A = this chain, B = another copy of it.
Amino acid sequence: MELTQLIREAAKNLETPFLVLDTNYVKENYYKLKNSINDVEIFYAVKANSHTSILETLRDLGASFDVASKGEIEKLMNLGISTDKMSFGNTIKKEKDIKFAWDNGVEYFAVDSEMEVEKIARNAPGAKVYGRLSMSSNDSDWPLSGKFGTDVDHLIEILKYAKRKGLIPYGVSFHVGSQSYNKYKWKEAILNASEVFEKLHKQKIDLKMLNLGGGIPVKHTKPVPDVEEIGEIINESIKEYLGWVKGLRVLSEPGRSMVGNAGIIASRVLLRSRKGTQNWVFLDTGVFHGLMETVENFRYEVLVEGKEYSETTTMTLAGPTCDSVDTIYDEIELPINIDYNDIVYFINTGAYTNEYATSFNGIGPIKVYTVEDLEALLKGEIVFMEEMQS
């Protein structure tokens, strides 16, 4: 997302830290994905950012939603989103959440184990289930294999078991890993998925749905394949491996790629100090209040207002809490003259930021504004509770 004059004005005049969201990027991302994968149905992964402005934007675009819990289902229902637009994609569900979802009209449930099939059979008899495949190897920043999914043969057994339990084996899902750099992973995954389709077809079970998961990367500090390139691979692979499936539905569950570039975090330098040979810069936000992904060394683009990157030095960048885990980057190149009260931006931080925020140290979760909020705040038209307290 572009660092606009409005955001710069806001950072100068409002209390930091805050995350600003621009839903125009969400719209753009939605259409790009829609245009890149043939006949794709988009189920936005709510967990990436459940801010109302984003959910409303996607609702109005006609998107569907991938949900992880009863809490998310209720939030969507409260926004007038119909449950037939939801898929319960978490493979580890509470039984009462399954029942709640089913009783309220959610039809699709993810599984990757026999026990989950049993739980769904007990609480959502007749539901459509899709099985999650694990990925064998990895080229992503945030791998999701291991905890989720299982292998082809096991998945076939699980889907057959689902049928015996009165459920409808409906499809296959996978996840190439969040922020995946290798576009050929989708080809490999679709090939694996097609094996499940074929083997079950031979046993008179006809699956209808391929769920491509998420994983489309957002540009940060490394080059990434764009959605058009990935879409091309996906379209070719579906044609090649699943072209024979009549009436195949193709779903995508983008999270990061829908909202990652729709946000910027603005923060301020609270302290600069030197300890031994180490240069420390402390900000008013950190790991516990929006930048949790950095603990796994997720690298955002970092900009310092008014300071040039022509002369830089290696510094340690940390958050404001009394906890050493609250260290954003052990080593980062920053302008050598970065100073107290400088504004520091984290670019493309719309995904997995405010969602991971805690209230640790008596510091509330990061404030979230839309660009419209910023405009009104700068004009003095609205006063947020947080602003009033500050």
Q: From residue A212, how far is it (CB to closest CB) to chain B in Å?
A: 15
Q: From residue A220, how far is it (CB to closest CB) to chain B in Å?
A: 18
Q: From residue A150, how far is it (CB to closest CB) to chain B in Å?
A: 5
Which B residue sits closest to A175, measured CB to CB? B322
Chain B residues within an 8 Å CB radius of A47: 321-323, 360-362
**Judging by beta carbons under 8 Å apart, are A322 and B148 in contact?**
yes
**Judging by beta carbons under 8 Å apart, are B358 and A284 in contact?**
no
**Judging by beta carbons under 8 Å apart, are A90 and B324 in contact?**
no
**Judging by beta carbons under 8 Å apart, are A147 and B364 in contact?**
no
From known contacts A92-B271, A114-B273, A271-B116, infer whether A46 and B362 are also in contact, taking CB-CB under 8 Å: yes
**Which residue of B144, B278, B327, B390 is within 8 Å of A96 (Cβ)?**
B390
Q: Give residues of chain A (259-280) contacting chain B, Cβ–Cβ below 8 Å.
A: 270-276, 278, 280
Chain B residues within an 8 Å CB radius of A381: none
**Which residue of B134, B321, B359 is within 8 Å of A275 (Cβ)?**
B134
* A342 adjacent to chain B (CB < 8 Å): no
* A245 adjacent to chain B (CB < 8 Å): no
Chain B residues within an 8 Å CB radius of A273: 112-116, 150
A interface, how many residues as a size bin?
35 or more
- CA of A387 to CA of B325 in the docked complex: distance in angstroms? 33
Q: Give residues of chain A (90-137) contacting chain B, Cβ–Cβ below 8 Å.
A: 90-94, 96, 112-116, 119, 134
- CA of A150 to CA of B112 in the docked complex: distance in angstroms? 51
From known contacts A115-B340, A322-B68, infer whether A94 and B284 are also in contact, taking CB-CB under 8 Å: yes
**Judging by beta carbons under 8 Å apart, are B115 and A69 in contact?**
no
Q: From residue A185, how far is it (CB to closest CB) to chain B in Å?
A: 16
Which B residue sits closest to A318, measured CB to CB? B147
Q: From residue A376, how far is it (CB to closest CB) to chain B in Å?
A: 23
Chain B residues within an 8 Å CB radius of A91: 271, 322
Chain B residues within an 8 Å CB radius of A282: 92
Chain B residues within an 8 Å CB radius of A145: 324
Chain B residues within an 8 Å CB radius of A311: none
From known contacts A113-B273, A115-B272, infer whether A362 and B69 are also in contact, taking CB-CB under 8 Å: yes
Chain B residues within an 8 Å CB radius of A63: none
Which B residue sits closest to A110, measured CB to CB? B322
- CA of A267 to CA of B93 in the docked complex: distance in angstroms? 14
Q: From residue A12, how far is it (CB to closest CB) to chain B in Å?
A: 16
Chain B residues within an 8 Å CB radius of A166: none
Q: Give residues of chain A (57-97) contacting chain B, Cβ–Cβ below 8 Å.
A: 67-75, 89-94, 96
**Judging by beta carbons under 8 Å apart, are A89 and B322 in contact?**
yes
From known contacts A271-B113, A360-B355, infer whether A324 and B70 are also in contact, taking CB-CB under 8 Å: no
**Judging by beta carbons under 8 Å apart, are B322 and A362 in contact?**
no
Q: From residue A332, how far is it (CB to closest CB) to chain B in Å?
A: 15
Chain B residues within an 8 Å CB radius of A93: 270, 320
Q: Would you mind naming 9 contact pairs between A and B with Cβ atoms under 8 Å apart?
A: A47-B361, A71-B363, A91-B322, A93-B270, A116-B273, A147-B280, A147-B326, A150-B273, A150-B275
Question: Given contacts A71-B362, A90-B361, A150-B273, could you give 9 more A-B pairs where the C-beta distance is less than 8 Å?
Answer: A71-B359, A71-B361, A90-B321, A91-B271, A91-B322, A92-B282, A116-B271, A146-B316, A150-B275
Please provide the 3 A-B residue pairs with the shortest distance between their CB atoms, ordered closest to farther. A71-B362, A113-B273, A72-B362
